[in-house]
Amino acid sequence: MTAQPFVIVGAGLAGAKAAEALREQGYTGPVVLIGDEPDLPYERPPLSKDYLTGKAERDAAFVHDADWYTDHDIDLRLGQAVVEIDPDRRTVTLADDTRVGYARLLLATGSSARPLRVPGADADGVHYLRRLGDSDRIKAAIASSERMVVIGGGWIGLEVTAAAREAGVDVTVVESGDLPLAGALGPELARVFAGLHTEHGVTLRTNAQVERFTVDGSRVSGAVLADGTQLPADAVVVGIGAAPNLHLAAAAGLRVRRGVVVDSALRTSNPDITAAGDIAEADHPLLGPGVRVEHWATALNQPAVAAATMLGRDAVYDELPYFFTDQYDLGMEFHGLVTPGGYDRVVYRGDVPGREFIAFWLRDGRVVAGMNVNVWDVGEPIKALIRSGQLVDEVRLIHPDVPLDQILESEETR
Ligand SMILES: Cc1cc2nc3c(=O)[nH]c(=O)nc-3n(C[C@H](O)[C@H](O)[C@H](O)COP(=O)(O)OP(=O)(O)OC[C@H]3O[C@@H](n4cnc5c(N)ncnc54)[C@H](O)[C@@H]3O)c2cc1C
C-alpha cells in the first residue's frame, strides 16, 4: 500500500514554499499541491509594481519554474479547486469529484479581493487586482486610459495609482476614511503617503463613498459619489481590501475567527491540519494571540514551520510581521504591528520631508513598529528594538549619529 500523501491546498506562495520546505526538511513521501488558478504558483507583489509597470517579466513572479515541481516529485495539480475536506476520512474532494486522501493537510488558500457592491460595479472596465490576469488587464487599461478612478486608498490602490500616474494617466483616489492607509499605519505616516501622491498630481477624495458607477453601453464611464460628485473615468480599479478564503476550513469544522485559528506551530484545531499565509490567525510568542496579516513575508516564512509541524517536529513561528511597498521613487519596509490604540507616539529619525527616514511607533516608551523609508539595511536593528521590549531613550533613538544597533546597548549600560 502506498503512503497517503501530504496534501497542500492553495498553490500560492505559501503553498509552493510549503512543498519546498517539506523536501528541504528531508520528507521523501508523496506531496500533492492543489491550486485553482491555471498558473504556476506565483508571488503577488509584482502584480501591482514591476510587472504592472512592465519592468519585470511574468516569469520573474513564479516561485519556481515548472521543472522544479517535476524534479522535486511534487504532484502539482493546477486549475483544480478543492471543494470539501473530510477530516474524519482524511480526504479532500476536488470540483470534479476526485478524492485525494491525506496523511497531513496544509491549508494555504489565501485571500480574495473584497467586492464592491454598488450599481454598475460589474461593468467592463471595473477591475480588481488579485491574480496575474487582473494585472494584465489593468496594465492594458493604464495604457489605453486618460482618466482612472481608484476606489480605496490601501496598498494596492496606491501602488496602482503610482503605476498609472507614471504612465501619465489622471488618477482620482476615492477613500472612505480621513486619509489613505490610516488603518494600516495610523494618521502620522498616512499623511506622508497622502503627500507623496498629491505631489505626483493625484486627486485624493477622502471621506468619500462611491454610490454607483455610470455605464456607457456595457463599459464603465465614471463613478458617482454619495455627495453627488461625478468622476468621469475610462477605467476603475477597486482596491477595498481582501478577505481570507476560510470557507473550506469553516465547513470542515476547524476553529475559525478572523482567520483559521492556529497555535504557534501553525496547527489548527485538528492536529492533522496546519494552515499558513494569509488565512492563518496565529498565536505569536511575542505579539500574543490572534495575529493575522496579509503579508508576502508571512507566506514566505511560515511554510517552513508548517512543514516541520506536519513532520511531527517542534517548531514555532515567531517572525515579526514584515511588509514593503514601492511607489514612485519611495521604497519602504515595515516591521512590527500597528493596531489602532496600539501605540501612543510616532518619532522620526532622518529627513521626513525629503522622504529618507525611519519612523518608530512607540508604546509606553518601547518600540512596537518601525518603518524605513528610502533607508536600507536597517531591518535587523529595528527588529531587535521591537523584540527587546525595552524602554528606549527617544533622544538617542532619533539622533542620526547614534548607530541603531547601539541604542539598546547604551540603554543597558546607562
Ligand atoms: C496585487 C498585490 C500586491 C501585493 N503586494 C504586497 C507587498 O508589496 N508586500 C507584501 O508584504 N504583501 C503584498 N501582497 C500580499 C501578499 O501577496 C499575500 O499576503 C500573499 O500572496 C499571501 O500568500 P498565500 O499563499 O497565503 O495566499 P495567496 O497568494 O492568495 O494564494 C492562495 C492560493 O490558493 C488558491 N485557492 C484558494 N482556495 C482554493 C481552493 N479551495 N482550492 C484550490 N485552490 C484554492 C487561490 O486561488 C490562490 O492561488 C500583495 C497582494 C496583492 C494581491
In this predicted model, what pLDDT tens digit does every residue of 12-24 receive, in sequence order? 999 999 999 999 9
The whole-angstrom separation of Cα 73 and Cα 398 is 51
CB neighbours (10 Å) of residue 54? 12
pLDDT at 294 over 60: yes
pLDDT at 2: 67
Ligand 1 and 294: CB distance under 6 A: yes
Q: How far is the CA of 190 from the centre of ligand 1 (A)?
A: 24
Closest residue by Cα to residue 45 from 34, 33, 56: 56
Among the ranges given (111-115, 226-230, 289-293, 403-407), the one the predictor scored with the smallest mean pLDDT: 403-407
Mean pLDDT of the chain: 96
- Mean pLDDT, residues 201-207 taken together: 98
Cell numbers standing for residue 353: 520631508
Nearest atom, ligand 1, residue 294 CA: 19
Q: By alpha-carbon position, which residue is closest to atom 34 of ligand 1?
A: 10
pLDDT tens for each residue of 81-101: 999 999 999 999 999 999 999
Q: pLDDT digit string (tens) for 322-380?
A: 999 999 999 999 999 988 888 999 999 999 999 999 999 999 999 999 999 999 999 99
Q: What is the pLDDT of residue 1?
A: 53
Domain ranges of the chain: 6-112+243-310, 126-240, 329-413
- Best of 40, 240, 278 to mutate for ligand 1, by most ligand atoms within 8 A of CB? 278
- Whether 81 is in the pocket of ligand 1, judged by its Cβ within 6 Å, is yes
For ligand 1, the distance from its centroid to the CA atom of residue 102, given in whole angstroms, is: 23
Question: Within 13 Å, how many C-alpha atoms sit on residue 409's CB side?
Answer: 6
Secondary structure of 95-108 as H, E, C letters:
CCCCEEECCEEEEC
Q: How far apart are CA 364 and CA 228, in angstroms?
A: 45
The 3-state DSSP class for residue 234 equals: coil
Q: What's the CA-to-centroid distance between 135 and ligand 1, angstroms?
A: 14
Q: What is the DSSP string of 363-375?
A: ETTEEEEEEEES-
Which has the closest alpha carbon to 152: 183, 191, 124? 183
C-alpha cell at 40: 504556476
CB 242 within 8 A of CB 296: no
Confidence check: pLDDT of 414 > 50: no
Residue with cell 475567527: 257
Does residue 189 carry a pLDDT above 80?
Answer: yes
- Which range has the worst mean pLDDT, 114-123, 124-133, 207-216, 336-345? 336-345
pTM over 0.85: yes
Cβ–ligand 1 distance for 164 under 6 Å, the answer no
Can you tell me which atom of ligand 1 is nearest the CA of 323? 11
Separation of CA 35 and ligand 1 centre (Å): 12
Main-chain phi, psi angles of 149, to 5 degrees: -110, 130
With beta carbons less than 8 A apart as the criterion, state whether 214 and 120 touch: yes
Instruction: Give CA–CA dist 159/49, Å, rounded.
Output: 7
Task: Find, among 291, 294, 263, the residue nearest to 278 by Cα.
Answer: 294
Q: In what order do the strands lie in the sheet with 273-275?
A: 74-77, 31-34, 6-9, 104-107, 273-275
d(CA 296, CA 298): 6
For atom 24 of ligand 1, the residue with the nearest CA is 110
Q: How many residues does the chain have?
A: 414
Top-level class of domain 329-413: alpha beta
Nearest ligand 1 atom to the CA of 44 is 17
Q: For residue 104, what pLDDT band results from cuts at 50, 70 and 90? A: very high
Comparing 407 with 314, the larger pLDDT belongs to: 314
- The third-level CATH classification (topology) of the domain covering 126-240 is FAD/NAD(P)-binding domain (3.50.50)
Dump pLDDT digits (tens) for 136-176. 999 999 999 999 999 999 999 999 999 999 999 999 999 99
Cβ–ligand 1 contact at 299 (below 6 Å): yes
Look at residue 19 and give its three-state secondary structure. helix
Q: Same fold for the domain at 6-112+243-310 and the one at 126-240?
A: yes
pLDDT at 409: 60
CATH architecture, domain defined by 6-112+243-310: 3-Layer(bba) Sandwich (3.50)
pLDDT tens-digit map of 60-77: 999 999 999 999 999 999
